[in-house]
Amino acid sequence: MRKRILVTGGAGFLGSHLCAKLIDAKHDVLCVDNFYTGSKDNVRGLLKCSRFELMRHDITFPLYVEVDEIYNMACPASPIHYQYDPVQTTKTSVHGSINILGLAKRVRAKILQASTSEVYGDPEVHPQDETYWGRVNPIGPRSCYDEGKRCAETLFFDYRRQHSLSIKVARIFNTYGPRMQLNDGRVVSNFIVQALTGRPITIYGDGKQTRSFCYVDDLVDGLVRLMDTSDEITGPINLGNPFEFTMMELAETIIELTASRSSIEFKALPADDPKQRKPDISRARDTLAWHPSIELRDGLSRTIEYFDTLLCTEGLSVT
């Protein structure tokens, strides 16, 4: 059935891929973004489609539209961006969620919250499943994002209990792929850009800390599958790749794939940076019949190709 679907943060990295997938599925898509970290370039290929509409709007202000479903993807996700204006980051998660939930309540739309593995903080449980309540510093430099997303989850479930709203909550683990920004500040984009430009690859800490990397196509497929479940299924549901890699392994793989001569430099670990991050995706497997299919080397190769092209377009030297 053809639906009218709102994607907040739709011009961002994840949001733009989601918009494209929904357009491919023959839905009408309203993409809303304030372009703080999103870019019109990310959705340029969709602008000629009659079923796609782009609107500049900040969800910390109310939005009045008529839609059937809502994906709330709006919020800067990299530490560089969300720590630049931490108060605004918190407002986006909290005020933004209140406004978008209010919209969903008014039009009785099904609504999905793009939450994050950051709700688990620096975890004492490994791997992390959805029953774990997390270990988050409420007053640290990352708190604006971590606690903002935790509060957003609270609001979603309170709207469910108080107003019988149809909600979905996805906890997204590290995701990578084309359309990440050159200055994104996240580890995959940092390492690839440094390797392609011949600069030293910067590892914070001793390189033994781990992450689990999910390619964007797999992640977006999981979001759509979750949205398409019955109203009884609310989540939270972890979406991510359960295969774990150290930062050193990631750096060495990217150096190999780019044939780079970059050296590796070690710097102090930032405050509250998690030592381990790995999702338990049993709930996603059982509920959504979902699991990632794109292996790290394949996904990295596609991402490297994207950044190689982008760097050439920007006129930056490439090794």
What confidence tens digit (pLDDT) does each residue in 286-316 have? 999 999 999 999 999 999 999 999 998 876 6
Average confidence score pLDDT of the chain: 94
- Give the range among 92-96, 168-172, 182-186 with minimum mean pLDDT: 182-186
Span 153-180, average pLDDT = 97
pLDDT grade, residue 277 (50/70/90)?
confident
Per-residue pLDDT at 270: 75
142: Cβ contacts below 8 Å, ≥ 6 apart? 79, 82, 83, 118, 271, 272, 273
- The per-residue pLDDT for range 48-105, each reduced to its tens digit, is 999 999 999 999 999 999 999 999 999 988 788 888 899 999 999 999 999 999 999 9
Residue pair 33/10 in contact by the 8 Å Cβ criterion: yes
Query: What pLDDT, on the 0 to 100 scale, is given for residue 319?
Result: 57
Q: Report d(CA 31, CA 57) in Å as an integer.
A: 10
Closest CA to 173 of 67, 268, 244: 244
Q: Which of 71, 82, 120, 145 is catalytic?
A: 145
Q: Which of 13-27, 86-100, 179-193, 289-303 has the lowest mean pLDDT?
A: 179-193
Q: Does domain 4-176+215-239 have CATH number 3.40.630.30?
A: no
83 versus 269: the higher-pLDDT residue is 83
How many Cβ atoms sit within 10 Å of the Cβ of residue 268? 8
Cα separations in angstroms, 44 against 19, 27, 49, 293, 313? 11, 18, 10, 27, 16
306 is catalytic: no
Report whether pLDDT(274) > 80: no
CA–CA dist 92, 85 (Å, integer) = 11
pLDDT of 317: 57
CA distance 213 to 300: 10
The domains of the chain are located at 4-176+215-239
Please give the residue that has the higher pLDDT: either 69 or 207: 69
Residue 229 reports pLDDT greater than 70: yes
What is the reported pLDDT for 307? 96
Which of the four pLDDT bands, split at 50, 70 and 90, describes residue 272?
low
Res 318: pLDDT: 62
Distance CA 44, CA 11 (A): 9
Place of tokens 């004492």: 124
Contact 169, 223 (CB under 8 A): no
Percent of the chain scored above 70 by pLDDT?
A: 98
Can you give the pLDDT at residue 129?
Answer: 96
Average pLDDT, integer, range 175-189 = 92
Q: Which of 97, 94, 93, 106 is nearest to 67 (CA)?
A: 106
